[in-house]
Amino acid sequence: KPGTTPGPLKYNGTKLIYDKDHEWQPTKSGDIRGPCPGLNTLASHGYLPRNGVATPAQIINAVQECFNMENLTARFLTYAAFLVDGNLVTDLLSIGGKTKLTGPDSPGPATIGGLSTHAVFEGDSSMTRADDFFGDNSSFNQTLFNQTQKFVDFSNRFGDGLYNLTVAAELRNQRIKESIATNPKFDFTSPRFFTAYAESVFPLNFFVDGRNPVRALSMDNATLFFRDMKFPVDFHRAAAPIGGKGLRDVFAPYPIKPGKNINGINTYTPDPTSADFDTFCLLYTDFVTKTVGSLYPNPQGVLRTNLIINLRNFYSGIDADENCTEIFPYGKV
């Protein structure tokens, strides 16, 4: 049964997150981790179940409590991922690959494959994970972290050794250029178009200690989060609720239209049907009708009821200022 959707934090200032009750533990055999360094870290500290399987409500509560992610952002991301990667009947989501721990599958074509499933939420040109075309789209990739023109090198060149907004823009552009030039299957249409820019600012907005007035991340702390899935000693969460702040500053220096390589490497072609930053509501409607719709063409019973409830929860994560009209492809409960 879907749980109720958590509201905003009551106390929303900074506070100590790496405390005695949340020791870091190495993963045990069978524990699942995936493409999101934020959620991986929460599982490794027991803010999420350490096995890496959680309910949407647990995820929203944990990202708010530990990183001060604002409520609408937390809802939007969590329900988007849950709808396409989670088990709608058992209310469980794997933060990595497919697992029996989420319970019996519903009828396909939905794969209920967890966050590592390519192309429904996870996508190309990640900063520290390889494109799915090259094999492993989920694990931390030391080469992508350390090589020339990658995370650490760009932070040294453009940020004096820190990952900041300038570095974020340079690295985002570089990763896109690399994928265009090397990945024949490169796809940078919605929803990946949006999540790529959002994830570029997440290390600044969430991994920087809330007592630090400068939004810039040291390489030591980046290594802890991205590779070790571990909070820095004495880690305090962000000082105020925050979401995708800075996203447009990452986009602005190197604007690109959503698109894909249509015929092998270096054939990047804009896709005018894809949502972009000027058509945010199209992100929502396409995600519901195309992405979710293709996974669940004709759901029945509890599955259908829970789809309706979780689509409603997803819509509840959209700011009213966006003026998006809610859609009900499976009817109302």
Q: What does the binding site for ligand HEM look like in residue numbers (CB under 6 A)?
A: 35-39, 59, 63, 67, 69, 74, 77-78, 81, 115, 121-123, 126-129, 195, 199, 202-203, 206
| 69 contact, one of ligand HEM, Mg ion, none, CB 5-8 Å limit per kind | ligand HEM
Binding site for Mg ion (CB under 5 A): 122, 126, 129
Q: Smallest gap, in angstroms, from Cβ of residue 122 to Mg ion?
A: 5
Q: Which is nearer to ligand HEM, 89 or 95 (CB)?
A: 95
Total H helices, total E strands in the chain: 12, 7
Q: Which is nearer to ligand HEM, 74 or 263 (CB)?
A: 74
The DSSP-derived string for 180-195 is HHH-TT-EE-TTHHHH
- Alpha carbon dihedral 10, 37, 185, 169, in 10-degree steps, equals 80
Q: Smallest gap, in angstroms, from Cβ of residue 182 to ligand HEM?
A: 16
Q: Which residues of 260-296 are buried (b: 16+ CB within 10 A; e: fewer)?
A: bbeeeeeebeebeebbbeeebeebbbbbbeebbeebb
Q: Smallest gap, in angstroms, from Cβ of residue 77 to ligand HEM?
A: 4
Q: Smallest gap, in angstroms, from Cβ of residue 331 to ligand HEM?
A: 26
Give the number of C-alpha atoms closer than 13 A to the C-alpha of residue 34, restricted to the C-beta side. Answer: 27
Indicate the residue whose CB is closest to ligand HEM. 38
In whole angstroms, give the CA distance from residue 175 to residue 154: 11
Q: Which is nearer to ligand HEM, 127 or 247 (CB)?
A: 127
| 113 contact, one of Mg ion, ligand HEM, none, CB 5-8 Å limit per kind | none
Q: Smallest gap, in angstroms, from Cβ of residue 262 to ligand HEM?
A: 21
| 17 contact, one of Mg ion, ligand HEM, none, CB 5-8 Å limit per kind | none
Q: Are 210 and 14 in contact (CB under 8 A)?
A: yes
| 67 contact, one of ligand HEM, Mg ion, none, CB 5-8 Å limit per kind | ligand HEM
Q: Which is nearer to Mg ion, 129 or 237 (CB)?
A: 129
| 128 contact, one of Mg ion, ligand HEM, none, CB 5-8 Å limit per kind | ligand HEM
CA distances from 183 to 146, 191, 260, 267, 324 (A): 20, 18, 10, 10, 34
Q: Smallest gap, in angstroms, from Cβ of residue 253 to ligand HEM?
A: 18
Q: For residue 43, what are its two tokens? A: 């599982």
Q: Which is nearer to Mg ion, 72 or 265 (CB)?
A: 265
Rg of the chain, C-alpha, whole Å: 19
What is the three-class DSSP state of 300?
Answer: coil
| 86 contact, one of ligand HEM, Mg ion, none, CB 5-8 Å limit per kind | none
Nearest partner of 53 among 75, 77, 85, judged by Cα: 85
Give the number of C-alpha atoms closer than 13 A to the C-alpha of residue 296, restricted to the C-beta side. Answer: 27
Q: Which is nearer to Mg ion, 126 or 313 (CB)?
A: 126
Q: Which is nearer to Mg ion, 55 or 200 (CB)?
A: 200
Q: Smallest gap, in angstroms, from Cβ of residue 112 to ligand HEM?
A: 14
